[in-house]
Structure 1
């Protein structure tokens, strides 16, 4: 029996060797909370939970493979990986499906959302570009980086997926910031952003003709959802009721009324965080946010320990991108930001999104495995 025990321990050691165990543990807890919340949000649907569990299993398998990849090999093939991710973005414009545009490619049993892949491949490509030059980057290198960002973001905008385009753009901007791009570029962008926000809040409807009708509707409801409480403002009003109704400790798992009585729309996807708040209250919300912060902090620690510029930029960018995803969805469901159809990482139901996210954390673990050994 001793040889069997030693063999099992050796096998477990080999299987767990590429993992960063603290990061993996936090991700597993988040996935467990996500499955529990989805079970409640779907009124006890095992089909939804099993489907999401399958996506998580695929993502964890991808994470394990990515974590075992030698970082120099990953750096070498980064341009090919980036180019390969552009192909489905072009393909989805021709054969894609979606509610408001061409977002998914149907592969029979499941759908693939190519835009999600860009959240991973864009930071990889930018890290590759900057790693080949001195930092902070000069203007020619910066122009090259902006072109790398513009290609996937432009293709995603053609799909009429503004929310994902914003997130992909944000993941690129994060790498620019980490690469030491001059602060006045970001100041200029911030001023432009404040101007756009003021336009959204103050401009009359007649000036929004460049936006599609559903986009105009979302912006108008962001201004004041009470103007149409039974129509376009319904989503955000019900989301606020669900969040506020949870109180300190929540109504209890599976006891929330907004989702179970079908008041809360998209309660397994975009607004699943509202279900979490109603079921588990502010204590549950604080726990989940603390887990997100731990994951982000762990990624930044791995980045700080990285051996080279490519790994440092990549690990930090993927960690900070998670912060943006959580911020946008949290602001959206609480009425602080317009509704743009952005899921909450590892909580919202989905396929390509969690798989890609877990692949990204596998890449972060590959960076950790390549760190210098302290003696």
Structure 2
């Protein structure tokens, strides 16, 4: 047996490592990565080493994806409880003796400085998928209540830091698992309607509720300012509304076909303050226009579609729920970023997948892609 293995050509041994990967998903991610490098070169070529670092981060994410893809879903399932527990304990450590930067306590020193909330982006769907797998065939309302508790504990700790953007991503990942596990529509519709009514009341009462000195109590002052700025960016055009206004100007000035590669004036004259991170979508829209934006959106839609196809074809409840929730993380990243840059959502500091600069977010994306590839491989093994 040993002799036979040694005689296998290197090509076949390497092929065994990638066999079962979802080809269409890998291809669209490659195209998005190329788009990210192109836009990053234009918006960040004069911004230190952003372009080179962005390429390095992509290579790291690709390596992580490749390694995680080799882990069978059964092994991922066994890691769910330990990773979730570790993540929550680290969040408690942040609350007790975390490191504060720019008014936010989000980091903790465990030999190296880490941001534990990032762990929960993957740990949360892992944990809830594990929980519903254990309850398969005997789900009761109490099981959904327990799942809600498992979700609200880390979300509450993350919001306390405060970090609304990460809390939103963790919440979306957890809610998607609960929804795909079979949450009944009669439990979904009332809070959705209540939220819509709340948004309507907020729009009507904007002039009085957003007046100076008004305390919303349930939100931090900076979070209140972000919502009020969304409703009326012109109330502080050179301050809190500057990002949104300049982002919309950049997107609008791009027109149908854009101003051309490296020709964006809003971008290169630095009217867009975060042009390589949160607001890179505005830089893309200015230089490549509506056509470029639509191509990018199409790429994200296809990536989400392939992720849901992998989820639908997954062999177990755990893998179906995990694949669907990881896919919805990608969707939430893209939707929230594009929405805040376009002025339809508050600015919450969520990067655009594969396009925005950011090492931590790229690691999370690599982990998510690795999980999807692992589940795709497991489907092929079951079929064979």
Equivalent residue, structure 2, for 1:102: 105
What is the CA-CA distance between 1:244 and the residue it aligns to? Answer: 0.7
Q: How far, CA to CA, are the matches of 1:88 and 1:168 in structure 2?
A: 15
2:352 aligned with 1:349: no
Aligned counterpart for 2:92 among listed residues 90, 93, 113:
90
What is the CA-CA distance between 1:354 and the residue it aligns to? Answer: 1.3
Aligned counterpart for 1:47 among listed residues 49, 56, 70:
49
What is the CA-CA distance between 1:342 and the residue it aligns to? Answer: 1.4
Number of matched residues?
369
Superposed counterparts of 1:294-309, under 5 Å: 294-309=302-317
Equivalent residue, structure 2, for 1:232: 240
Equivalent residue, structure 1, for 2:293: 285
TM-score by length of 1: 0.92
Equivalent residue, structure 2, for 1:171: 173
Verify the 8 A CA contact 1:52 1:349 in the aligned structure 2.
yes
Q: How far, CA to CA, are the matches of 2:20 and 2:64 in structure 1?
A: 12
Q: CA RMSD in A?
A: 2.2
> Cα distance 1:295–1:237, how it changes in 2: closer, same or farther (>3 A)?
same
Q: Secondary structure at the match of 1:287?
A: helix
Q: How far, CA to CA, are the matches of 2:347 and 2:138 in structure 1?
A: 36
Q: How far, CA to CA, are the matches of 2:109 and 2:54 in structure 1?
A: 17
What is the CA-CA distance between 1:160 and the residue it aligns to? Answer: 0.6
Aligned counterpart for 1:33 among listed residues 35, 39, 47:
35
Q: Secondary structure at the match of 2:276?
A: coil
What is the CA-CA distance between 1:96 and the residue it aligns to? Answer: 2.8
TM-score by length of 2: 0.90
Q: How far, CA to CA, are the matches of 1:106 and 1:33 in structure 2?
A: 35
Equivalent residue, structure 2, for 1:3: none
Q: How far, CA to CA, are the matches of 1:8 and 1:282 in structure 2?
A: 46
1:89-133 deviations in whole A, cap 9, x for unaligned?
23333233433412345789x964322221111011111101111
What is the CA-CA distance between 1:186 and the residue it aligns to? Answer: 1.2
Verify the 8 A CA contact 1:112 1:351 in the aligned structure 2.
no
Gaps of 5+ in 1: 1-5
Verify the 8 A CA contact 1:243 1:281 in the aligned structure 2.
yes
Equivalent residue, structure 2, for 1:274: 282
Q: Secondary structure at the match of 1:102?
A: strand
1:226-279 deviations in whole A, cap 9, x for unaligned?
222222211111000011111111111211111211111211111111111111
What is the CA-CA distance between 1:21 and the residue it aligns to? Answer: 2.4
What is the CA-CA distance between 1:11 and the residue it aligns to? Answer: 4.5
